[in-house]
Copies of this chain bind each other. A is one copy, B any other.
Amino acid sequence: MIGIFDSGVGGLTVVKEVKKKLPGYDLIYFGDTARVPYGNKSAELIKQYALEDAQFLLSRGAKLIIVACNTASAVALDYLRANISVPVFGVIQPALQAALEMTQNNRVGVIGTRATVNSGAFQKCLLALQGPDNSIDNRDVQKPAFMRKRSVKNHSLIKKTKLFFQAAPLLVPLIEENYLDRPETARILKHYLQPLKAEQIDTLILGCTHYPIIQSLIEKKLKQVKVINSAERVSQELKDFLGHNQSIDRSLAKRREARFFVSDLTPHLTDIAKQFLGQRINLEVVEL
């Protein structure tokens, strides 16, 4: 089945999109709520946690893995691909490819956790796309063929693209406290978006699974700016991949079953999960 993990329940925004794009496919989700959040932790620790998360999904029968967590995708994707033997999809590259397709002025903003922004992962991914053969890192054997070949946009335009970053660490707690319509959130959001606005970005990547919840607020503050939700893009990429990889597609169960695991459970968490997925689900607790 398809395995999806995140540091918490924010990755359910990815589950929602995968269910839309690939209805019927069995899913297994893991949220590492015993150790959430990852965004303020060190790269070494995030790698260790991400590998443990992935290994749990493999032990439960996952045949491919989506790293829904932007922090883990930014910091631990290469590490995961080097250490596990099924295809691993991160959310950084799909979001960046979408941005490169959409931007007109080649000025793209990224908001995310401190760890995501400091990781340099978006910049590294952009540099690979800007490279002479217009491909992402050729040494990367895990990467499906269509990704290596696909030309995102006219190469000379990609060469010109610049990224502008903003760490936005208060957005996750504000969203988890359901502070969506409050003036404090509007003000903090403005504080985070102002520097990106000043750089005249025309495209913004939501570099955290929590942010789609406040996408409309962000769009209101950044009129004319296209906002990219990576959950949607990674789901499309997975669908394309399965179209090109029939043997893997055939190995995936399609009984419309989904199971959701977390490493810790509180009543508040159940409420947040509902907010992300749009429906109440049964969260099962496991110890890693």
- Listed in ascending order, the chain A residues whose CB lies under 8 Å from chain B are 33-35, 40-42, 45, 114-115, 169-170, 173-174, 176-177, 179, 183-184, 187-188, 264-266, 268-269
Q: Which residues of B contact A42 (CB under 8 A)?
A: 264-266
Closest 9 CB pairs of A and B: A184-B184, A173-B173, A45-B264, A42-B266, A184-B187, A42-B264, A35-B35, A41-B264, A184-B188
Copies in the complex: 2
Closest B residue by C-beta to A263: B45
Please determine whether B184 and A177 come into contact, CB atoms closer than 8 angstroms. no
Q: Which residues of B contact A115 (CB under 8 A)?
A: 266
Alpha-carbon gap, A170 to B177, bound state (A): 8
Of the candidates A169, A170, A176, A187, the one having the most CB atoms from chain B within 10 angstroms of its own CB is A170
Given A40-B176, A45-B264, A169-B177: 13 more A-B contacts, CB < 8 Å: A34-B45, A35-B35, A40-B269, A41-B264, A42-B264, A42-B265, A114-B266, A115-B266, A169-B176, A170-B177, A170-B179, A184-B184, A184-B187
Please determine whether B45 and A41 come into contact, CB atoms closer than 8 angstroms. no
Q: Assess A40 versus B268: contact at CB under 8 Å? Given A34-B35, A45-B34.
A: yes
- Shortest A118–chain B CB gap in Å is 9
Please determine whether A174 and B183 come into contact, CB atoms closer than 8 angstroms. no
Q: Which residues of B contact A179 (CB under 8 A)?
A: 170
Please determine whether A41 and B266 come into contact, CB atoms closer than 8 angstroms. yes
Partner of A170, one of B45, B174, B268: B174
Alpha-carbon gap, A275 to B222, bound state (A): 34
- Shortest A113–chain B CB gap in Å is 11
Q: Which residues of B contact A35 (CB under 8 A)?
A: 34-35
Closest B residue by C-beta to A173: B173
